[in-house]
Structure formats: C-alpha cells, structure tokens
C-alpha cells in the first residue's frame, strides 16, 4: 500500500500527528499546532517541527502552513 510505505519513513511522533490529521481532516480544515499538541501530549513546537516532514512527505493529505497568530495554523486537505 503506497500510504503505508510513505509513512514508514516518518518518526513515531510524525505518524501520531498524521493519524490525528487524517482522523479529523474530514470535518476540519484548519489545525493549530497548540491544539494538536494538547490532543497528543506534545508541545506546539514539537508539532510544528514534525509537521514539516508530514508536509514534505508523500501522504494522502495536503498540508500548508497558514498562519502564526497565537500558534501556527495549518491548512490540511485530503
């Protein structure tokens, strides 16, 4: 499966974030690093650092850095 092989290169944290995004992308488009971190017991900085690998990787989601007010916001679409 292509998605599985693409996620094999991701770290455990990155896979957790990606799974969270996949789970919520159907009902939500914009995600704040701070709120993802709260849901996954990570800091906003950890989320932001790891989102770059998800954005640049070959996964089933399109991830775009969107804004910086109070926490980086990411636009995530399927």
In a domain, 25, yes or no: yes
pLDDT band at 67 (very low <50, low <70, confident <90, very high): confident
In a domain, 14, yes or no: yes
Name the pTM for this structure: 0.85
Residue 30 near residue 77, CB atoms below 8 Å: no
The one-character DSSP state at 26 is T
Q: How many domains does the chain have?
A: 1
In a domain, 1, yes or no: no
pLDDT tens-digit map of 25-42 = 999 999 999 999 999 999
Q: What is the pLDDT of residue 1?
A: 42
Q: What is the pLDDT of residue 4?
A: 52
Which CATH number goes with the domain that contains 49?
Answer: 1.10.10.10
* Residue 64 scores a pLDDT above 50: yes
Residue 25 near residue 14, CB atoms below 8 Å: no
* Residue 3 scores a pLDDT above 90: no
Residue 46 near residue 56, CB atoms below 8 Å: no
């Amino acid at each position: 499966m292509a998605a599985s092989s693409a996620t094999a290169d991701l770290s455990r944290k990155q896979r957790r974030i990606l799974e969270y995004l996949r789970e919520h992308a159907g009902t939500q488009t914009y995600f704040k690093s701070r709120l993802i971190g709260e849901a996954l017991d990570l800091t906003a900085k950890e989320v932001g650092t790891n989102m770059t690998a998800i954005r640049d990787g070959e996964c089933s989601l399109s991830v775009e850095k969107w804004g910086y007010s109070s926490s980086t916001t990411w636009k995530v679409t399927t």
